[in-house]
Amino acid sequence: MLIARWSIDARFGYKPVVLDMMRRWMAEVGSQIGWTQDRARLLTGSVGAHESTVQSEIRVRDLAELGAAWDKLATIEAHARWGKEMEPYVVSGSPHWEIFRIIE
C-alpha cells in the first residue's frame, strides 16, 4: 500500500477558498477515479509546516493503480476546468506529488 500526497500552497488569504475547491474536486472528480472519502483525506499546515500548505492524501494499492487513476484523470473535462478555476488561488510552482510506502 502507498500514500500518494499532493501538496499545494494557497496564496495569502485564500486557504478557505482552496479547501472548499479541494472538497468539491474530491466529490465531483476524485470520486470518478475511485478516490472516495474512505481512501482520501485533506490536511493543512499547522505546527512546523507552512500554514498555507494544503495536502490531499490518497491511499492506493500500488504505482500501477496510481498511474491508471492519473491516466483517467487526464480525460475528465471537469478536472481541466477545475484546474483553471483553482490557478489564481495557488502559489505558482508549489504543486507537487510525494509517494510514501505504508509500512504498518
Predicted confidence at residue 19, as pLDDT, reads 97
Q: What angle do CA 75, 81, 86 make, to 5 degrees?
A: 125
- What topology is assigned to 2-101 in CATH? Alpha-Beta Plaits (3.30.70)
Predicted confidence at residue 103, as pLDDT, reads 96
Query: Would you list the domain boundaries of the chain?
Result: 2-101
- Lay out the sheet containing 96-101: strands in order across: 40-44, 53-60, 2-9, 96-101
**Cβ atoms within 10 A of the Cβ of 10, count?**
25
Q: pLDDT tens, position by position, for the chain (104 residues)?
A: 999 999 999 999 999 999 999 999 999 999 999 999 899 999 999 999 999 999 999 999 999 999 999 999 999 999 999 999 999 999 999 999 999 999 98
Predicted confidence at residue 104, as pLDDT, reads 85
